[in-house]
Amino acid sequence: MIFVTGGAGFIGSNFILNWIKSNAEEVVNLDKLTYAGNLENLASVQANSKHIFIEGDIGDLELVTKLLDKYQPRAVINFAAESHVDRSIHTPEAFVKTNMLGTFWLLEAVKNYWNRLDEIAKNNFRLLHVSTDEVYGTLDKQAPAFNEENRYEPNSPYSASKAASDHLVRSYHHTYGLPVLTTNCSNNYGPFQFPEKLIPLMIVNALEGKSLPIYGDGQQIRDWLYVEDHCVAICKVLESGSVGETYNIGGWNEKPNLDIVHEVCSILDESKPRSDQKSYREQITYVKDRPGHDRRYAIDARKIERELNWKPAETFETGIRKTVQWYLENWQWIANVQSGVYRDWVEKNYVGRT
């Protein structure tokens, strides 16, 4: 079996759903169920014996040790992280605690477990650490995309904490021999994404008649990766990746944020027109940019294509249509995650910038 941390979050839950659909192996899912961890994401496998859920913290050394000893996984995939840049600006301590210290204690538990395995199991074991392109910093408009050799230049508490976790993972391989793999992905989008991130926030606000807040001039460029493509890539890395290596995973879809919002509005104009027949674009408003906002990210994903024969199946045009349709068909899921805490957060972060 495999052991997944953060499996009730956006990417983690999509990975588990994809894994159970495609593999016979069981998956143990450890998640702390913070605001963005949602078991409703996994409702379709709630009764599936291949999915074993445990509520808990990757920073709990005693718990993780007991679980590893009990279930004897052949691999650990670490999705557990605080991942929202704006939240890291307001409350950086939570990001240091989860992304840095949490990863450290997870590594300690995994290292100790791995050392107790027999030689065959030790050779077959893998720890796959899921990270972000934001660790590389920002790019000029004409600069080449990030590859695996780019140096780390994080610019937010979030990306700094993820960079630290990447360095810890690397150090446990070089110091202790732990068989690790690291992936750095671009901006994910798709089903089950918590509606504080750009695409689901725009969909939800548009349909609720609220403003569509755009930071600054909206020309911040990101590479967009459909989450199911990301999950397939992680499986490829886990199956065939070279121990100690890093693989950048991107969608080959560089687009400014404003273009993303325009595309969402156009799809909604077709699929669920406003009652006044005007475009949802009329709801766009510009708000003060966030501090230290990186101007451009771009991923060079040629290494994973060359070595592991992976490339994204979805273009942005196909992926964004699937995403908008999913949110239109799952409005109850949206209603269920929109707690008072979430509404207070959106008001704090966006209304004050208008």
3-state SS assignment for residue 153? coil
Structurally, how many domains does the chain consist of? 1
Contact partners, residue 33, CB within 8 Å, separation at least 6: 8, 39, 55
Asked if the structure places residue 185 within a domain, the reply is: yes
**Local structure of residue 288 (DSSP, 8 states):** P
Asked if the structure places residue 64 within a domain, the reply is: yes
What pLDDT sits at residue 196?
A: 84
198 to 4, 194, 205, 225: CA distances (angstroms): 26, 10, 11, 13
Asked if the structure places residue 20 within a domain, the reply is: yes
What pLDDT sits at residue 104?
A: 98
The whole-number mean pLDDT for each consecutive block of 10 residues of the chain, a chain of 354 residues, reads 96 98 96 87 94 96 98 98 83 92 98 98 98 96 96 95 98 98 98 93 97 96 97 98 98 97 98 97 94 92 98 98 98 84 62 58
* Whether the Cβ atoms of residue 168 and residue 232 lie closer than 8 Å to each other: no
Asked if the structure places residue 268 within a domain, the reply is: no
Give me the phi and psi of 235, to 5 degrees please.
Answer: -60, -40
Asked if the structure places residue 45 within a domain, the reply is: yes
Helices marked H in the chain? 10-22, 61-71, 85-90, 92-95, 103-115, 119-124, 157-176, 198-207, 227-240, 257-271, 302-308, 316-329, 331-337, 340-350
What pLDDT sits at residue 343?
A: 59
- What sign has the CA pseudo-torsion 3, 80, 63, 13? negative
Give me the phi and psi of 218, to 5 degrees please.
Answer: 75, 10
Angle of the 103-115 helix axis to the 157-176 helix axis, nearest 10:
20
Cα separation, 43 vs 40, in Å, equals 5
Q: Which amino acid is at 308?
A: L
pTM flag (> 0.85): yes
221-226 and 254-256 beta bridge pairing: antiparallel
| DSSP one-letter string for 187-198 | EEESTT--TTSH
Asked if the structure places residue 307 within a domain, the reply is: yes
| Number of Cβ within a 10 Å radius of residue 120 | 8
Q: SS3 sequence, 217-257?
A: CCCCEEEEEEHHHHHHHHHHHHHHCCCCCEEEECCCCEEEH
**Local structure of residue 56 (DSSP, 8 states):** -
* Whether the Cβ atoms of residue 28 and residue 67 lie closer than 8 Å to each other: yes
Helix (H) or strand (E) holding 128: strand 126-132
Q: Which amino acid is at 127?
A: L
| Number of Cβ within a 10 Å radius of residue 11 | 23
* Whether the Cβ atoms of residue 154 and residue 163 lie closer than 8 Å to each other: yes
Q: Which two tokens stand for residue 318?
A: 């196909």
What pLDDT sits at residue 317?
A: 97
- Rounded to a whole number of angstroms, the distance between the first and last alpha carbons of the chain is 49
CATH number for the domain including 38? Answer: 3.40.50.720
What range does the domain containing 19 cover? 2-189+226-252+295-313
Q: Which two tokens stand for residue 96?
A: 């240091």
**Catalytic residue IDs:** 133-134, 158
* Whether the Cβ atoms of residue 148 and residue 303 lie closer than 8 Å to each other: yes
What pLDDT sits at residue 246?
A: 98
Contact partners, residue 270, CB within 8 Å, separation at least 6: none
Asked if the structure places residue 213 within a domain, the reply is: no
Paired strand residues for 4? 29, 77
Asked if the structure places residue 283 within a domain, the reply is: no
